[in-house]
Amino acid sequence: MQVLDLPAHAGLRVDGARLWNSLMELARIGATHKGGVCRLALTELDKKGRDLFVAWAKGVGCTVRIDAIGNIFARRAGLRDDRPPVMTGSHIDTQPTGGKFDGNYGVLAGLEVLRTLNDNDVRTVAPLEVAVWTNEEGSRFVPVMMGSGVFAGAFTLDYALMQKDREGISVRDALASIGYEGEHVAAHRVGAYFEAHIEQGPVLEANDKVIGVVQGALGQRWYDVTIEGMEAHAGPTPMELRRDALLVAADLIREVNRIAISHAPHGRGTVGWVDVHPNSRNVIPGRVKLTVDFRAADDATLDEMDAALRDMCAKSSLPVAVDEVVYFAPQPFDASLVDSVRDSANALAYTSMDAISGAGHDAVYLARVAPAAMIFVPCKDGISHNEIEDAQADHLEAGCNVLLQVMLRAANAPVQEGAQA
């Protein structure tokens, strides 16, 4: 077996057809009539998907370990197994009306990297690992990104295991029922983490670029907002004497949109849920509850957006309560790994552009414990979390080729002076 030499292996390429066929085979597990996938976390269908991945991983000579939250780690040995692994991965659980590529691409792109190295008889210095993270989507169990969150210490194992779905089934029991309740092993060190993913947005496609060089993930602040008015009969109550909570809500929704636009290009503002009481045709709304989702690339911008929201609510003609319920810090990715993604895309002659992740990914948690970066490829019309989610085979192949090159670079990088092996 050859030891990795980067110049000699700069021409190494993955098998795009094999990658596509693997994606299509996995997509048959939980396939929907509209061409999507419904494979919720820790169900029997998830078990079948996991079993297929494990069989494929063992087929390329990997050792497979499962931790106590059900994360799967398929490890390909390196010449220096004392060095922390270069890891890639994502998830294979889906939304109820999910697609074939969200998460699945990142897992199978990692597998294709290992297959390509086997095909070419190449062994890296550091070991390589492909991770399948548990319950990334959060469709069945909350919180989202559960497996990577436990791995990175964002929340405890006990907390995650006690969470229940709508039927009252706990994560602990669900793991046991599908045979993926692994041993409680402390999270191991990771030398570098890469995640390939469809963009889940329209920016790459709109700019006719193949590779998104992801700088980091937007921070998020979520709020529950309650507006208190007074319900009254719609006929006898004059307009100037009304305490219409929905009218105030309409102004607030417009303001959320204005705040986001004023913090371009990465500001995001969404009111995604509204509850009107009493919700009757001929009654003036007396109370409105709604959600606000703000996202931005840095905390200073999030603070400005928060202040603008609270200022608007304080000046309202009706009492407005604002309760922040979620905060995710903005997460920049490792500059050297981001540069490696960009350099590899350029070396492979793929068009590329800097990108930002507006969604949460497992890489966001991994970036807390290891150098991390992401590789985006376009998805059709920017549509994801939808059964019609689609991506071009050549784009998927391109992203996987970039993943191959950056993993080779990281796995053969010399250990810095004074650093642990």
d(C-alpha 98, C-alpha 51), whole Å: 20
pLDDT in tens, 3-33: 455 555 788 999 999 999 999 999 999 999 9
Confidence bin at 185 (pLDDT 50/70/90): confident
Count other C-beta atoms under 10 Å from residue 257's C-beta: 13
**pLDDT for 5:** 52
d(C-alpha 120, C-alpha 134), whole Å: 31
d(C-alpha 46, C-alpha 391), whole Å: 22
Task: Using the predicted structure, report yes or no on whether residue 421 has a pLDDT greater than 70.
Answer: no
Mean pLDDT score, 143-169: 95
d(C-alpha 60, C-alpha 48), whole Å: 19
d(C-alpha 366, C-alpha 86), whole Å: 12
Note whether 33 and 97 are within 8 A (CB): no
**pLDDT for 1:** 47
**pLDDT for 8:** 58
Q: Which amino acid is at 181?
A: E
Q: What is the DSSP letter of 239?
A: G
Cα-only R_g, the chain: 24
Length of the chain: 421
d(C-alpha 219, C-alpha 223), whole Å: 14
Under CATH, to which class is 219-325 assigned?
Answer: alpha beta
Mean pLDDT score, 270-297: 97
In the block, residue with structure tokens 């705040």: 259
How buried is 198 (Cβ within 10 angstroms: 0-12 exposed, 13-18 middle, 19+ buried)?
Answer: buried
pLDDT in tens, 331-357: 999 999 999 999 999 999 999 999 999
Mean pLDDT score, 265-274: 95
Alpha-carbon distance values, 120 to 113, 114, 212, 410 (Å) = 11, 10, 27, 18
d(C-alpha 123, C-alpha 135), whole Å: 32
d(C-alpha 69, C-alpha 154), whole Å: 13
d(C-alpha 45, C-alpha 375), whole Å: 28
Q: Which amino acid is at 236?
A: P
pLDDT in tens, 85-99: 999 999 999 999 999
- The proportion of the chain whose per-residue pLDDT surpasses 70, expressed as a percent, equals 96
The dotted CATH code for 2-217+331-411 is 3.40.630.10
Confidence bin at 325 (pLDDT 50/70/90): confident
Note whether 282 and 234 are within 8 A (CB): yes
Spans of all domains in the chain: 2-217+331-411, 219-325
